[in-house]
């Protein structure tokens, strides 16, 4: 592998340039900005690898960029990535233009550089390096690069239903991964599900002079009252049936939690807060993080929100609710329970819309791909990775992998302060180059695994 | 008076032009936009009347434009007006540019044309017409034109404390007034007080990936929970002591309420709602409107509020609370009770800031100025005015008048669909011209009232 690694080091500038070019192109699925341009850019790169890429229709969503490459063994490894990114706002909290991909202090700073363009380019670069040095790949490779991950992959079910053969693989390397806040590599063996809902209340036909508030309904109050019935101050979700399918951790899972390093102080410092909710710490905190669902107000807008005072009665109010689900919660069922609860509590007037449901998913601890990723992490990074039973985040692991019995595992170029979804998103250049090598090592090692 | 009225008709175009010029100049106190320019414009007009205007410092706020004119009698009438306006947003709901002062369908459409530039210009025009035709005014006149009414007149107490002699008058014509939704003139003999508070909650140092919501405090939830302790779904304010100084209406006041015309259907149609809160109607509705305080969420902002989904845990949450007070509530006491309630309910972490407190105020039914305004309304408008014990709105009536024992009364050029504080604010040109004449009639009649 040393010859491939030397080639990667010699061509580092090319890979960095390609990543910057990817980051210069905004691709915000939530706002429909730059999506076609970005899909074409990914397609062109896959074409240059000889992957015969195509834009696969998803019946109403942004297309999946799909490509395949034949290799020396009959084993197949798929890479799941996404070409969309989060919106960049609040813009005034960025130290440099989120689309400039500025290099500063050994890092690249850009919206999407960690989530997920750094990993997409690392995987392309790994293939290119293998091809250049050896003329062939050790196994068959598939690229599944979707365009709606940041809005909850609403059309990826269609893709998987229409093209199960495109999903078929012996294992999958998931889109994200990398080091924790202390630089230790991490492996995640699952994802949380998500049920993301927009709630809307309406009052008068527009914002009105607030003097009429004596007798005119206020949609902001309606929404505050409705939300206050969803979760109590002890963080207990009050929607009847919400916890019914939540599975407590097994003894094996609890044992994994015990081995997760204590990064609480660093996390608190990074977040800028004094303590975790309800003073949680240790294994209790880890159980909450990895085995408990959430119910989060992600946004709330009503009335006048500028400087100073404006005495209005709002005409509308809107809230976004982000519920992260754990095995075996079903996002469609959770949405139904939410709607039923609102109706029963007298909030039938509040409109709800389900945006991007996602199922939770889990890969078993002893899956071959988990072993391969762990061993190669240890060899390349000089440290054993920390294994997490699930990521705290969400994604379409179920659609692309679990529903077909495909094991998946994370491996990537991020780090504990990559600021995914936040201002000043970044990755270290050294991690990016190491991540390219890691993909080469994973391909070599997984090609050698005996079929079960 | 006919000669003065004929002069007003002959010069209508001049007055309309002046009003348009006033409306072209944005003057948004909440945002500090155009305030100096507007104050100078008012000062220049008062100077052209010979009122020797000055910009009176208010110790930290926008200045009061103050001017005086001597007249034939020893009686003094003051005009309280304001040169600031509400912000114009939401801009996309305006049918024409809010600063263009477009004339369409017999109306002038502009931010501030009803509240309060139409009335300011009408009073200037009335003085100018009297001077032109008669060479003198029937009584002494004072202009008190402040710049912070729309943000709760936070520095007008300073003005009144520093310059009680400037406030001194035998009576005051209040800034607003006009016709109701059916074209009948209205008189208001008081104002509600206001306690406008901004609430702020903080969590992580900025918006974060929502996956951390398992264990990181969410300021949007904090604010929703805190707000939900302030008012129940039956519209009862839950802050202990909030209602302690609320006075029930007297029999005389209830009798006035009985004579208020039924405009419920029109109001509902105008608002675009099916019914009033809790199905209120008739005298019950009027009692709520004129004798009950409110607690209104005027604005709420947290996290991502754009299109689609963004999976964030907000770093901050902000709400604006607009509490309209009735006699004899004290805004400073109400703010203290709110703060105490939040602390007692476990929300000491939520910051509060009092923006522009205002005391409620009332003029007695038999005050001479009330009689003068009612008689002149009847004569000029051909209809007896409807008398309201108080406006549902707020303002510094207490600071400028009540605390000095000065009676005040409303008279103005607005109408029931003037859309003050809302998009498409407007007045009828005919009302504007009639309103100029009304001010002339009020001055003549009040000059003749015997001192009590």
Interface test mutation site (partner A, options B94, B190, B238, B298, max chain A beta carbons within 10 A): B298
SS3 B391: coil
- Specify the number of domains making up chain B: 2
CATH number at residue A201: 3.30.70.360
CA distance B294 to B315: 29
The answer on A406 and A302 residing in a single domain is no
The answer on B304 and B179 residing in a single domain is no
- B171 is a domain residue: yes
Query: Could A296 and B210 be called an inter-chain contact, meaning their C-beta atoms sit closer than 8 Å?
Result: yes
The answer on B128 and B17 residing in a single domain is yes
Q: How far is A423 from chain B (nearest CA, A)?
A: 8
Kindly report the number of other CB atoms within 10 A of residue A251's CB atom.
Answer: 7
The answer on B222 and B112 residing in a single domain is no
- The pLDDT value given to residue B261: 86
Query: Which of residues A303, A338, A358 is at a domain's end?
Result: A358
CA distance A219 to B233: 12
- B35 is a domain residue: yes
CATH number at residue A88: 3.40.630.10
Query: Could A228 and B224 be called an inter-chain contact, meaning their C-beta atoms sit closer than 8 Å?
Result: yes
Q: Using a CB–CB cutoff of 8 Å, tell me whether B116 touches chain A.
A: no
Chain A residue numbers touching B227 (CB-CB < 8 A): 221, 224, 228
- A319 is a domain residue: yes
SS3 B92: helix
Q: Using a CB–CB cutoff of 8 Å, tell me whether B331 touches chain A.
A: no
User: Among all residues of chain B, which has the CA nearest to that of A204?
Assistant: B271
Q: Consecutive 10-residue runs of chain A (452 residues): their mean pLDDT?
A: 96 98 97 97 98 98 98 96 95 96 98 98 98 97 97 91 98 96 92 95 94 96 98 97 92 86 91 96 93 96 94 97 93 97 98 90 90 97 93 86 95 95 96 98 93 54
Q: Using a CB–CB cutoff of 8 Å, tell me whether B418 touches chain A.
A: no
- A19 is a domain residue: yes
Query: Could B301 and A305 be called an inter-chain contact, meaning their C-beta atoms sit closer than 8 Å?
Result: yes
Q: Using a CB–CB cutoff of 8 Å, tell me whether B91 touches chain A.
A: no
Query: Which of residues A312, A343, A358 is at a domain's end?
Result: A358
- The pLDDT value given to residue B451: 58
CA torsion A230→B207→B228→B244, rounded to 10°? 170
Axis crossing angle, helix A219-228 with helix B219-228, rounded to the nearest 10: 100
Report whether A323 contacts A296 (CB < 8 A). yes
CA distance B131 to B70: 11
The answer on A92 and A136 residing in a single domain is yes
Q: Using a CB–CB cutoff of 8 Å, tell me whether B316 touches chain A.
A: no
Q: How far is B18 from chain A (nearest CA, A)?
A: 26
Which among A62, A217, A242, A226 has a CA at the least distance from the CA of A147? A62
- A424 is a domain residue: yes
Query: Could A301 and B300 be called an inter-chain contact, meaning their C-beta atoms sit closer than 8 Å?
Result: yes
Confirm whether the ipTM is greater than 0.90: no
The answer on B144 and B85 residing in a single domain is yes
Query: Which of residues A333, A358, A383 is at a domain's end?
Result: A358
The answer on A323 and A374 residing in a single domain is no
Distances (CA, A) of A217 to A200, A201, A221, A230: 14, 10, 8, 21
DSSP B311-349: -EE-SEEEEEEEEEE-TT--HHHHHHHHHHHHHHTT-TT
Distances (CA, A) of B273 to A248, B47, B233: 48, 47, 18
What's phi and psi for A71, nearest 5 deg? Answer: -130, -170
Query: Could B302 and A304 be called an inter-chain contact, meaning their C-beta atoms sit closer than 8 Å?
Result: no
- A376 is a domain residue: yes
Backbone torsion region of residue A138, taken as left when φ is above 0, otherwise alpha when ψ lies between -120 and 50, otherwise beta: alpha
Helix (H) or strand (E) holding A302: strand A296-303
The answer on A95 and A12 residing in a single domain is yes
Nearest-CB residue to A227 (from B194, B213, B224): B224
Query: Could A30 and B306 be called an inter-chain contact, meaning their C-beta atoms sit closer than 8 Å?
Result: yes
- B281 is a domain residue: no
User: Among all residues of chain B, which has the CA nearest to that of A275?
Assistant: B216
CA distance B375 to B352: 46
The answer on B43 and B160 residing in a single domain is yes
Report residue A302 as tokens: 């009503």
| List of chain B residues with pLDDT < 70 | 450-452
- A283 is a domain residue: no
| Structural domain containing residue B415 | 2-191+360-448
Nearest-CB residue to B296 (from A151, A301, A313): A313
Provide the greatest CA pair distance for chain A: 78
- The pLDDT value given to residue A451: 58
The answer on B114 and B18 residing in a single domain is yes
The answer on A140 and A25 residing in a single domain is yes
The answer on A365 and A240 residing in a single domain is no
User: Among all residues of chain A, which has the CA nearest to that of B273?
Assistant: A204
Which among B441, B449, B452 has a CA at the least distance from the CA of B122? B441
Q: Using a CB–CB cutoff of 8 Å, tell me whether B234 touches chain A.
A: no
Q: Using a CB–CB cutoff of 8 Å, tell me whether A153 touches chain B.
A: no
pLDDT in tens, B176-196: 999 998 899 999 999 999 999
């Amino acid at each position: 592998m040393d010859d491939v690694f030397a080639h990667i080091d010699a061509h580092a500038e090319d890979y960095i340039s390609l990543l910057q070019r990817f980051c210069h192109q905004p691709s915000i699925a939530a706002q429909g900005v730059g999506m076609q341009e970005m899909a074409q850019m990914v397609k062109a790169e896959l074409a240059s690898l000889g992957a015969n890429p195509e834009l696969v229709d998803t019946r109403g969503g942004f297309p999946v960029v799909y490509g395949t490459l034949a290799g020396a063994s009959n084993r197949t490894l798929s890479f799941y990535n996404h070409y969309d990114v989060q919106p960049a706002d609040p813009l005034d909290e960025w130290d440099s233009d989120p689309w400039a991909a500025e290099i500063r202090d050994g890092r690249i700073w850009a919206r999407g550089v960690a989530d997920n363009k750094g990993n997409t380019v690392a995987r392309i670069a790994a293939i290119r390096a293998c091809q250049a040095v050896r003329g062939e790949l050790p196994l068959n490779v598939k690229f599944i690069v979707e365009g709606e991950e940041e809005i909850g992959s609403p059309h990826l079910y269609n893709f998987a239903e229409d093209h199960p053969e495109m999903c078929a693989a012996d294992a999958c390397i998931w889109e994200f991964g990398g080091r924790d806040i202390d630089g230790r590599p991490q492996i995640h063996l699952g994802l949380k599900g998500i049920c993301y809902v927009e709630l809307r209340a309406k009052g008068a036909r527009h914002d009105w002079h607030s003097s009429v508030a004596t007798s005119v309904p206020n949609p902001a109050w309606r929404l505050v009252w409705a939300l206050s019935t969803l979760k109590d101050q002890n963080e207990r979700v009050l929607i009847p049936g919400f916890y019914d399918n939540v599975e407590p951790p097994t003894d094996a899972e609890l044992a994994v939690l015990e081995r997760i390093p204590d990064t609480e102080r660093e996390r608190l410092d990074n977040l800028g807060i004094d303590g975790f909710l309800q003073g949680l710490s240790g294994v209790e905190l880890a159980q909450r993080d990895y085995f408990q669902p959430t119910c989060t107000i992600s946004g709330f807008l009503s009335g006048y929100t500028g400087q100073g005072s404006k005495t209005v009665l709002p005409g509308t109010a809107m809230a976004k609710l982000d519920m992260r689900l754990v095995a075996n919660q079903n996002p469609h069922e959770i949405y139904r329970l939410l709607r039923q609860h609102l109706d029963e509590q007298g909030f039938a007037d509040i409109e709800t819309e389900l945006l991007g449901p996602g199922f939770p998913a889990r890969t078993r601890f002893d899956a071959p791909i988990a072993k391969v990723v762990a061993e190669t992490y240890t060899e390349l990074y000089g440290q054993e990775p920390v294994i997490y039973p699930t990521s705290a985040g969400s994604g379409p692991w179920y659609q692309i992998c679990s529903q077909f019995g495909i094991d998946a595992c994370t491996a990537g170029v991020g780090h504990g302060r990559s600021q995914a979804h936040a201002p000043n998103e970044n990755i270290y250049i050294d991690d990016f180059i190491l991540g390219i090598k890691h993909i080469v090592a994973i391909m070599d090692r997984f090609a050698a695994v005996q079929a079960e």
